[in-house]
Structure 1
Amino acid sequence: MTALALSAVAISSFPALAATSCPALRWTTLGTAGGPVPTAERSEPANLLTIGERRILVDTGDGTVDQLARIGLDLGAVDTVFISHNHLDHTGGLAAVIGLRWMNQFAGVLTVYGPVGTRAAVEGIVASMATPGSIGFGLGTPPPRPADSVRVIELADGQSLDLGAGAGVKVAANSHFDHDGKPDPDNASLSYRFVLGTRSITYTGDTGPSAAVTALAKGSDMFVSEVIALDALLGEIRARRKDASPEMLAGMERHLSTHHLRPEAVGEIAAQAGVGRVVLTHFAVPPGPLPQFEPAIRAGIAARYHGAVDLARDLQSFDLGCRP
């Protein structure tokens, strides 16, 4: 069995968290863009979760390794990745994470968690490393096998992982891949709740309105959610895609309106779940400065949710602090 193969042992293979009186629980929004169209203002979706001394990537959009460098974090510090779903705006930087860790010969195996399909995606990345693997690094010795540098564990709805030292992850399938209100039988989009002691952060990934996400977020200290400015985005798509057929535009509107969260839907989930604060990321808005959309986003959320709301910037961190 190669290191890329599924291993139940790997679920409990996290090293112990730092033995401190209050280990960190911190979320850093490396990239806050939403959707597959690159913008000058925001990097593609990626996040860094700090749990004690651990550094975990949650989604790895294009530019992830550059964003890590901008906050001064060495790739060798990251040994775990959680993928919410296998759309390229959320996984486009995974090849660089895997490949550059391998080229630098950082110690330890990178573990990639994600929904069904993640194994095939990573196997494709490893296959693409065959040529650089045959070239080597000019050190006079054969390089390590790329397949030995990464392993994959696919997750399913309702699963929980014990990360040790009071930390864990809960998994829920959301509605991002639903068809006519029914789950896709062959694919899944996952939301995650990361827990450390009594503190918790729920990350939606990409989702539409979802009772499962609301249940997952119940009582979370921090709710990290996507958001879409639907009308503005549809107008921008129509203006940019002059060649688009009416059928294509209708399908796009149907997808965006049911598989993503308008501000009102974010507020509804946050209020029903009773979360402590909302952190918005994955801004599905037209290219341009975010402040022009902020009043409408805040107003939509405030219709139901009256707690703190942050519109995250790239490279911004949110620390939950300590409590008994």
Structure 2
Amino acid sequence: MAKLKYALAGGTILVLAIVAAVFNPTANVWLFRQASLQAAGWKDTELAKPNELSLLVCGSGSPLPDPTRAGPCALVAAGDRYFLIDAGLGSMRNLRMWRVPLEKIEGVFITHFHSDHIAELGEVRLQTWISGRKSHLPVYGPTGIQQVVDGFENAYALDTSYRTAHHGEALLSPDVAPLLAVEIGETGSEAVLPQGGGLRVKPILVEHHPVDPAFGFRFNFMDRSVTISGDTARSDHLAEAAKNTDILLHEALSPELVGMLEKATEVSNRPRVAKVMSDIPDYHTSPVAAAEIANEANARLLVLTHLVPVLPNGIAERAFFYGVSDIRDDVHLARDGDLFVMPEGTDTIRHRELD
């Protein structure tokens, strides 16, 4: 009993000492210094080895506000070559938190000009520049990409001048800051896209009327491939372009769940929201249809992204998947931080989550 009393007394003293330290300003400064040293020593995250193709989901959400998902964004790493596909809200913050070396991004692909896909293009410009990008950053997109890029260039011009004046041209040269618009055209030209070194990028016309043209993209590297749908209604053209792809990253909207939201907003006398909910299903793809497309394409893995509506819990996720298991088993619901790695010469797809 005496030993127990001494142990309890000792434990109480230790707890009090910890509490005192936490509220001691000197101890707080020391703890922050140690945490800073540890954080500064973290290494960049490696997304792919030289013989690997990888896909990182940097934003799996949609225009609807979602506390757990950034706006639409994916990063494809072909060995040491990094390419960003779309730039939704919050995506750059994700990449920074995961310590992705942003200076390696050598091109941005914009599927179409809906706001949720271009919202952080200015931050892509800024963060890759600050990270050490050495030249203009090409932005590949449909007809109209020059107008979009010019808008972000104008919006960020003053910011660029301030940062160069503050940090100096040796660190942040204004000559390398700009984005460079590269138009893919109305029908999709491979000629303007990065190729070589085992890499081939192919644009895919998809169905997102009245957004015309809108593109998906297929990345082939060595003998592995990733196909990204962009926003689209069910598209046979996409299914053909994605033939035998390793990963099909496909958008998905549940008409049933969105229909429930439409009815709920009508009952709640919110006609504007109800009208939007009634309009959006016809230019997106249902989870079941995406599974059918993946089967037609003989895709090894289907990853659903750009998820509509917001799925706050497991119950909503299971409702979202209703009917999918009747079509195929190999379906993954994307989450921000999903990293899929595909080594050359294998059928392997390794998955882990960055956090």
TM-score by length of 1: 0.81
Distance 1:130 1:162, change over 3 A: closer
Does residue 46 of structure 1 match 2:64? no
Does residue 267 of structure 1 match 2:291? yes
Q: Structure 2: state its 5+ residue gaps.
A: 1-47, 347-355
Letter in 2 for 1:94: L
Contact 2:222–2:344 (Cα < 8 Å) also in 1: no
Distance 1:164 1:209, change over 3 A: same
Aligned equivalents of 1:21, 1:282: Cα separation in 2: 28
Distance 1:83 1:283, change over 3 A: same
2:344 aligns to what? 322
TM-score by length of 2: 0.75
1:256 aligns to what? 280
Does residue 109 of structure 1 match 2:133? no
Q: Which has the higher contact order (CA 8 A, sep 6+)?
A: 1
Pick aligned residue for 2:118 from 69, 91, 100: 91
Letter in 2 for 1:112: V
Aligned equivalents of 1:272, 1:287: Cα separation in 2: 27
Deviation, structure 1 residue 320: 1.8
Aligned equivalents of 1:249, 1:240: Cα separation in 2: 5
Q: Encode CA deviations 1:224-244: one digit per residue, 9 max, x unaligned.
A: 111112222233355457454
Higher share of residues assigned helix: 2
Letter in 2 for 1:168: R
1:288 aligns to what? 312
Contact 1:119–1:152 (Cα < 8 Å) also in 2: yes
Does residue 303 of structure 1 match 2:332? no
Letter in 2 for 1:151: L
Pick aligned residue for 1:313 from 306, 325, 335: 335
2:230 aligns to what? 205
Does residue 175 of structure 1 match 2:202? no
Deviation, structure 1 residue 276: 1.2
Contact 2:252–2:284 (Cα < 8 Å) also in 1: yes
Q: What is the aligned-residue RMSD (CA, Å)?
A: 2.6
1:152 aligns to what? 181
Does residue 30 of structure 1 match 2:62? no
Deviation, structure 1 residue 176: 1.2
Q: Secondary structure at the match of 2:166?
A: coil
Distance 1:316 1:104, change over 3 A: closer
Aligned equivalents of 2:288, 2:245: Cα separation in 1: 19
Contact 1:58–1:84 (Cα < 8 Å) also in 2: yes
Distance 1:231 1:79, change over 3 A: same
Q: Encode CA deviations 1:194-236: one digit per residue, 9 max, x unaligned.
A: 1012211111011001121111111111111111122222333
Aligned equivalents of 2:188, 2:180: Cα separation in 1: 22
Name the % identity.
Answer: 27
Q: Secondary structure at the match of 1:60?
A: coil
Q: For the pair shown, which has the larger CA radius of gyration, 1 or 2?
A: 2
Aligned equivalents of 1:120, 1:127: Cα separation in 2: 11
